[in-house]
């Protein structure tokens, strides 16, 4: 993965703390709102100043740090994994849902609803140790390719957000992922791709069990949901894992609303941002499709003065592999 990640890594180290930050963000109100916030909380004596240890920033992942189209990348993992496992399960051809997966009938798969997807997640994410699972994910993420861009999923990430992560960290922020995605799925690659270490990745999880196997300690992954890190779950998870309220939050859907409310609802300097997918040419435009519901959060953003990124007009570059407009 080193080769494929090198352009991404360069996004972090490219510039000094406050020297022309955020090159992929066009000049304008959106970029200015970010820079103003960061200047305020880092300037000693400024009434907006925030102590370094309180500078916690939380980021949704799907649709905020990387793309979530044509469907959640983790679903691609689930479907690919089902095909591998099917080799040992000839009986799956008689199961409506499983056979739909095997013949790439996405409509039938998504038609099975949340319960169907959860069933597929359990089959593909449980029944092995945590270390075995990490290896499976690492192998998949190295070899799988995004269907539209024909690149590793770890390159279908948003260059402006990489710059933002680096900019915040250069200004003393600790950056966390708070995602509905599986925590042990993301931790395998989040440090290399985003510079976010495993202990700063928060996500959904299944139950694990500690046991000694012939004198060797293992954690076994069980087919049982432990925590769903979405909607009202996000502030709960933030409190559980971080234990202090973030001062900045970044999301892109109604599933991030409560995280933004929780972040913005504290005292002192606060920043909340929504990424609005508006670029049908370079990425995807959600409006008029069933993708990434954002109505409630957009309304609240307008009412509360949160920043909304219009991807089409605010970003002069979307992916690391793409040159600037």
Compare residues 117 and 232 and give the one whose CB is closer to a second copy.
Answer: 232
> Six-digit token pair at 111?
């038609």
How far apart are alpha carbons 207 and 226 in whole angstroms? 5
Using the minimum distance from each CB to a second copy, give the nearer residue, 174 or 317.
Answer: 174
Count of other CB atoms within 10 angstroms of residue 23: 15
Q: Which of 228, 236, 291, 298 binds a second copy (CB under 8 A)?
A: 236
57-116: which residues touch a second copy (CB under 8 A)? none
Structure-derived torsion over alpha carbons of residues 254, 311, 70, 293, reported in degrees to the nearest 10? 20
Residues 6+ apart with CB under 8 A from 251: 59, 60, 64, 257, 259, 260, 273, 274, 275, 297
Instruction: State which residue, 170 or 238, has the beta carbon closest to a second copy.
Output: 238
Number of amino acids touching a second copy (CB under 8 A): 37
Binders in 243-272 for a second copy, by CB under 8 A? 243-244, 258, 261-262, 265
CB of 233 to a second copy, least distance (A): 8
Distance of CA 226 to the CA centre of its chain: 19
Under rule CB under 8 A, residue 13 binds a second copy:
no
For the record, the structure tokens of 245 come out as 């309220």
CB nearer to a second copy: pick between 61 and 278? 61
Extract the runs of DSSP E, i.e. beta strands, from 154-270: 174-182, 201-213, 216-227, 248-251
- Start-end of H helices in 126-208: 130-143, 159-170, 183-194
Residues 168-207 that bind a second copy (CB under 8 A): 174, 183-184, 187, 191, 197-201, 205
- Tell the burial category of 281 from Cβ atoms under 10 Å away from its Cβ (0-12, 13-18, 19+): exposed
Supply the minimum distance, in Å, between the C-beta of residue 85 and a second copy.
Answer: 23
Stretch that binds a second copy, among 11-19, 66-74, 101-109, 227-235 (CB under 8 A): 227-235
H or E element: which one contains 59?
strand 56-59
Cβ nearer to a second copy, comparing 55 with 277:
55
Minimum separation from the CB atom of position 201 to a second copy (A): 6
Binding mask 136-175 for a second copy (x = CB under 8 A): --------------------------------------x-
Residue 305 binds a second copy, judged by CB under 8 A: no
Indicate whether 53 belongs to the interface with a second copy (CB under 8 A): yes
- For residue 47, the minimal CB distance to a second copy (Å) is 22
288 near a second copy (CB under 8 A): no
- Nearest to 316, CA basis, from 88, 160, 187: 160
Spatial CB neighbours of 202, under 8 Å, sequence gap ≥ 6: 176, 177, 178, 179, 183, 229, 237, 238, 241, 242
Residues near 234 by Cβ (< 8 Å), separated by ≥ 6?
Answer: 178, 255, 256, 258, 259, 262
Does residue 209 belong to the site contacting a second copy (CB under 8 A)? yes
Residue closer to a second copy, measured from CB, 136 or 318: 136
Residues making contact with a second copy (CB under 8 A): 53, 56, 130, 174, 183-184, 187, 191, 197-201, 205, 208-212, 216-217, 219, 226, 232-233, 235-236, 239-244, 258, 261-262, 265
């Amino acid at each position: 993965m080193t080769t494929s990640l090198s352009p991404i890594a360069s996004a972090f180290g490219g510039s000094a703390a406050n020297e022309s930050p955020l090159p992929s963000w066009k000049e304008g109100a959106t970029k200015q709102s970010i820079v103003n916030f960061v200047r305020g909380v880092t300037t000693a004596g400024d009434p907006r100043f925030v102590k370094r240890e309180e500078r916690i920033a939380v980021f949704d992942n799907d649709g905020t740090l990387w793309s979530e189209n044509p469907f959640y990348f983790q679903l691609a993992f689930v479907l690919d994994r089902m095909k591998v496992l099917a080799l040992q399960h000839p009986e799956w051809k008689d199961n409506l849902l499983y056979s739909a997966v095997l013949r790439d009938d996405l409509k039938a798969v998504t038609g099975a609803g949340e319960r169907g997807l959860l069933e597929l997640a359990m089959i593909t994410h449980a029944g092995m140790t945590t270390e075995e699972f990490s290896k499976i994910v690492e192998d998949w993420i190295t070899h799988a390719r995004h269907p539209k861009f024909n690149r590793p999923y770890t390159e279908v990430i948003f260059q402006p957000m990489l710059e933002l992560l680096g900019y915040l960290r250069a200004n003393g922020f600790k950056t966390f992922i708070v995602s509905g995605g599986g925590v042990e799925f993301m931790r395998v690659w989040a440090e290399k791709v985003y510079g976010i270490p495993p202990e700063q990745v928060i996500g959904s999880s299944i139950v694990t069990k500690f046991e000694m196997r012939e004198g060797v300690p293992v954690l076994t992954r069980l087919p049982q949901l432990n925590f769903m890190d979405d909607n009202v779950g996000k502030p709960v998870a933030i409190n559980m894992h971080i234990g202090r309220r973030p001062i900045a939050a970044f999301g892109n859907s109604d599933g991030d609303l409560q995280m933004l409310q929780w972040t913005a609802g504290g005292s002192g300097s606060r920043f909340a941002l929504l990424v609005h997918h508006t670029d049908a040419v370079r990425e995807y435009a959600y409006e008029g499709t069933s993708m990434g519901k954002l109505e409630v959060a957009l309304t609240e953003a307008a009412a509360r003065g949160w920043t909304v990124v219009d991807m089409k007009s605010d970003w002069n570059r979307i992916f690391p592999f793409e040159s600037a407009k």
